[in-house]
Amino acid sequence: MERRVAERLRGTLGPLGLEVHALKVGWYNAVLQPAFHLPYPDDTLAFVVLSTPSMFDKALKPFVSKERLKIIRDPVDQCISHHLSRVKEKFPDQRVDVMFDYEMLPSRKPKFLAQTAAHVAGAAYYYQRKDVKLDPWGKKKVFGVCIHPKYGGWFAIRALLLFPDIQVPFLEQPAPVDCVSTEEKRIELLEQFNFHWQDGRYRDIIEVKERYSEEQKAYFATPPAERFRLLGLPQEAQRIAFH
């Protein structure tokens, strides 16, 4: 069952520059405190959705061109939401729950921890402070970061798709590729991500197969309220989205 669902998802989302990776809810819940658990049985099938560098040209720009008068919030978020709502239509006989990376619970906790989901699904390795033996940071706060074996840091985790009616007790968990395997490189990665993230060097911690285009880099480097102008969207939409 998982394979059929995965094939349908990849057939729909792959041409848009989106990747999907299967997981069981239990893999995710097993590594987190109860406060962050997803409220589904352990064997429930889920998929983490990533955007790859080609999403900008394959999904975002066509969406903006077609839906320009309907865009009233962050264009990338609205684009991803649009395409995932259409995915639900591909499964008329199944319940499909969608959680987006930007959604919060009333408690102000995120609906799901995106990097943890990517790691347990084998999509990208979540490098954290605990992965460094000789910690050089003392009392500094150090956040972890996911690195994709093909795209390095040139990708984003966008959503979690859950299929509550599908239980997959025999699904085997794939290990994420440990592509930043030396102590020195892990320190360099966490140092760059935490203290020099603006220059984006952490994204190239490994040799990547594909990275964001210059146009896409400029878009994501621009403050959100000014991105509408880069896409040629009307200023009225910008005012609605950010006020």
Domain coordinates of the chain in residue numbers? 1-231
Whole-number pLDDT of residue 239 = 42
From first to last of its 243 residues, what are the pLDDT tens digits of the chain?
Answer: 889 999 999 999 999 999 999 999 999 999 999 999 999 999 999 999 999 999 999 999 999 988 876 777 889 999 999 999 999 999 999 999 999 999 999 989 999 999 999 999 999 999 999 999 999 999 999 999 999 999 999 999 999 999 999 999 999 999 999 999 999 999 999 999 999 998 999 999 999 999 999 999 999 988 887 888 888 776 544 443 433
Residue 79 carries which side chain, given as an amino acid letter?
A: C
Terminal CA-to-CA distance of the chain, rounded, Å?
44
Task: Give the count of alpha carbons within 13 A of 68, CB side only.
Answer: 12
Whole-number pLDDT of residue 234 = 62
Q: How far is CA 148 from CA 4, 57, 108, 224, in A?
A: 25, 20, 28, 25
pTM of the model: 0.93
